[in-house]
Amino acid sequence: MPLFKKRTVGKPGEWFYCLEHKKVEEGPDCPGKDRFGPYASRAEAEHAMETARERNVQWENDPKWHDAPATGERDEG
């Protein structure tokens, strides 16, 4: 018995953006590795790439996201 069951049919109202086909799909038609979602509406899924770009910019500019700069010193404790 598998630990995780593959869900072949989405819940009503779940929308995904397929990265491979570059289109919005209702329900998980494509594998999880190829999609963003679920989204509550078709409109949200249509803007998935724009949302991802905006989030990437926020993360790239978040000082908590980046590691401290390397000093070149080694701890010989």
User: What's the confidence (pLDDT) of residue 15?
Assistant: 95
Q: What is the DSSP string of 19-32?
A: TTTTEEEES--S-G
pLDDT in tens, 2-29: 566 655 566 778 999 999 999 999 988 8
Mean pLDDT of the chain: 82
**What stretches of 1-77 show up as alpha helix (H) in DSSP?**
42-46, 48-60
Residue 39 has pLDDT above 60, yes or no: yes
Average the pLDDT over 50-55 and give the result: 95
pTM of the model: 0.66
